[in-house]
Amino acid sequence: MVSKKIVNEIMDSIAPLKLAMEWDNCGLIVDANDEYSGILVCLDVTKKIIDEAIEKGCNLIVSHHPALFSKINKISKDDVVFYAVSKKVSIYSAHTNMDLAENGLNQKLAEDMGLKNISSFEDLSFHDYKKIVVYAPSMEAEKIKASLSSAGAGMIGEYSECMYESKGVGSFRPSDRANPSVGKKGKLERVEETRIECICPVDRVSDAILLVKQAHSYEEPAIDVIPLEYPNFDVSLGRIGFLEKQLTIEEFVNIVKKNLCIEGVRVCGDLKRKIKKVAVCCGSGGDMICAAKAKGADMLFTGEAKHNHYIDAVNSDIVLVEAGHYNTEKQFMEIVIRSLQEAFDSIQCNVAVAPAKAEECPYEVI
């Protein structure tokens, strides 16, 4: 047996919950047990999967797709969540947090396709950033902004000096012990000020504050540092990298079919066209055509795309390869089983972790 607390901690180390998209529902979705006798891993939770878990003595299912995506108003006896609760089977889901994780699904998919020098679509994670807000006399605004930039603040992807300014009036009354650069001791002073705000890497915040203080004329400048736990930014779910050598689309597709054990894919592009830089997004990634093109990718390889995504690919002159949602995410089981087993071995915990045999693609092509 292993405690719920330990499994939660291990899963959060594999796919940190802070990486999950705001619309997603990750973590312990069905909390039916305090200890787990065994763990069954799958992509989608079905009643067959729950029955298999019970047969194998597993009272926890770890799935990729959440059993509940959004808030519900009622639960009927036919719902899979009701079935899990009635059978006292817990469900933990790792969805977009597993897609984004450092060694998660997108990383593995990119590696399996033979890509090198792999990076995310964006060069930053906003969970590793804070917002700095500085109030300064308006005549000093440009000097303060230059100090922030030199410390590495204000960088968003390929854009630098990304800052926001707003005008206002600041007031203060220096004490008898103060040494004001503006105003007089004991007298209330009003100054036209500019509020300057930008994001800054966590490890550069101290340097940014030091440089701002050196550039600022005030003896005690007003500087705010604000955590960005849930920033309103788009977070990239994909990876981008380079093939060891140029390949034709046809040659790359053969690699895809071999590595994913599938018979065919959808392709938009001349099969003889040569490619080198490839963007990868497991699952539904068709809407990342523009992001892939902006990063200089020759191709976007994903699991699922809509008709309009193919039109975007044609208009953007970028290759689009679609291998199926299920096919690009079935490696989830391998990642979770290996990671959980390694963690259990390190703490000498003898709990079985197994792939669901009832796991299967929910459709077939005939």
CATH at residue 217: 3.30.70.120
Inside any domain, residue 321:
yes
The tokens 């100054």 sit on which residue?
191
- Regarding whether 57 and 6 lie in a shared domain, the answer is yes
Q: Are residues 296 and 278 in the same domain?
A: yes
Q: Quick check: is 251 in a domain?
A: yes
- Compute the average pLDDT of residues 265-273: 95
User: How far apart (Å, rounded) are the C-alpha atoms in residues 95 and 67?
Assistant: 11
- What does the pLDDT read at residue 78? 87
Specify whether 316 is located in the same domain as 343.
no
pLDDT category at 160 given cuts 50, 70, 90 is: confident
Q: Are both 69 and 141 inside the same structural domain?
A: no
Q: What CATH number is attached to the domain comprising 63?
A: 3.40.1390.30
CB 287 within 8 A of CB 248: no
Of 227, 256, 275, which residue is a domain's last?
Answer: 227
- C-alpha distance from residue 54 to each of 28, 61, 86, 357 (Å): 18, 10, 12, 13
Q: Are residues 62 and 84 in the same domain?
A: yes
**Torsion angle defined by CA atoms of residues 351, 14, 119 and 284, in that order, rounded to the nearest 10 degrees:** 90
Q: Are residues 240 and 117 in the same domain?
A: yes
With respect to residue 282, please indicate whether it lies within any of the assigned structural domains: yes
Rounded to an integer, the average pLDDT of 306-325 is 95
| Together in a domain, 256 and 275 | yes
pLDDT band for 363, please (50, 70, 90 cuts).
confident
Residue 366 lies in a domain: no
Residue 157's pLDDT band (boundaries 50, 70, 90)? low
Domain boundary among 227, 251, 284: 227
pTM score: 0.70
Domain boundary pick from 227, 244, 274: 227
Instruction: Indicate whether 350 pLDDT > 70.
Output: yes
The size of the chain, in residues, is: 366
Q: Answer whether 110's CB lies under 8 Å from 204's CB.
A: no
- Same domain flag for 250 and 306: yes
| Other residues' Cβ atoms within 10 Å of the Cβ of residue 135 | 19
User: Does the residue 48 lie in any domain?
Assistant: yes
According to the model, what pLDDT value does residue 122 have? 58
For 72, the domain range is: 2-97+331-355
Would 360 be classed as within a structural domain? no
Residue 127 has pLDDT above 70, yes or no: no
Please check the confidence at residue 237 and state whether its pLDDT lies above 70: yes
Tens of pLDDT along 62-75? 999 999 987 777 88
- The overall average pLDDT reported for the chain is 91
Q: What pLDDT sits at residue 207?
A: 93
- The answer to whether the CB of 208 falls within 8 A of the CB of 145 is no
Tell me if 363 is assigned to some domain: no
Q: Are residues 247 and 111 in the same domain?
A: yes
Number of domains in the chain: 3
What tens digit of pLDDT does each residue of 134-145 get?
A: 999 999 999 999
Task: Tell whether 147 and 171 lie within a shared domain.
Answer: yes
